[in-house]
Chains A and B, each alone.
Chain A
């Protein structure tokens, strides 16, 4: 069982919709991440939050908007997406980003389809 919980597991949305992906962890981790994974490819980093502040944005289009309401929660707000944004979106957390290379713990992801 994963200790990082993502909801929903599946999401189908039209290009004009607004939706949000949610991620929650209760391991006391202070770094949280959003990754995007296309089929048969490795995950690609999108955003990193460290101590609830955005520390890395990997040049992600503004139609993806992250939010970290507290140290346990991470959201990804979606608006005006394109069909090519269809992918598996993975959330991850780690004890402390960067300094000691603590491993990332991944959730099972949200499978997003944009129609």
Chain B
């Protein structure tokens, strides 16, 4: 079956540090890949997405590249801010069939950024 594995957290960084959160996946078919972010007390927000190999998703300074050869979709940001403190979920969705956009989530990574 489909699965997503994220690096275990929590991750604690100082402001302006470089961030990497690793994500690898296994999937039947051709998945689309997503990063969602959940701020305290809120629902999930789509951060970025990529729908095919070598696509790069980017938003708010975050980037992730769809690497089919390594089945990875690592999240990176060059300089984190305190406001980036949240839980980050990597997810995939397999196109077509009866999946109806069903998302398979990783376990989530808690990021805390200190001033």
Contact present for A106 and B43 (CB under 8 Å):
yes
Contact present for A108 and B108 (CB under 8 Å):
no
B interface residue count range (under 10 / 10 to 19 / 20 to 34 / 35 or more) = 20 to 34
- What chain A residues lie within 8 Å of B89 (beta carbons)? 42
Known A-B contacts A55-B100, A105-B46; the reply to A42 vs B95 at CB < 8 A is no
Tell me, rounded to whole Å, the shortest Cβ–Cβ distance linking A50 to chain B: 6
Report how far A53 CA is from B105 CA in the complex, Å: 24
- Residues 7 to 61 of chain B near chain A (Cβ within 8 Å): 32, 34, 36, 41-46, 49, 51
Known A-B contacts A42-B89, A100-B95; the reply to A106 vs B45 at CB < 8 A is yes
Contact present for A55 and B98 (CB under 8 Å):
yes
Binds B, one of A12-20, A59-67, A69-77, A91-99: A91-99
Contact present for A42 and B108 (CB under 8 Å):
yes
Contact present for A45 and B95 (CB under 8 Å):
no
Report how far A45 CA is from B105 CA in the complex, Å: 10
**How many residues on A have C-beta within 8 angstroms of the other chain's C-beta atoms?**
31
Contact present for A43 and B100 (CB under 8 Å):
no
Main secondary structure of the interface of B (DSSP, over half): loop
What 1/0 flags go to B71-105 for Cβ under 8 Å of A? 00000000000000000010001111111111101
Q: Select one of B41, B42, B46 contacting A103, CB under 8 A.
A: B46
Contact present for A43 and B105 (CB under 8 Å):
yes
- Residues 8 to 58 of chain A near chain B (Cβ within 8 Å): 31, 33, 40-43, 45, 48, 50, 55-56
Can you list 23 contacts pairing A with B, beta carbon distance less than 8 Å?
Answer: A2-B43, A4-B43, A6-B43, A41-B108, A42-B107, A48-B102, A55-B100, A56-B98, A56-B102, A92-B43, A92-B44, A97-B99, A98-B95, A98-B98, A99-B96, A100-B95, A101-B93, A101-B95, A102-B101, A104-B44, A104-B103, A106-B44, A108-B41
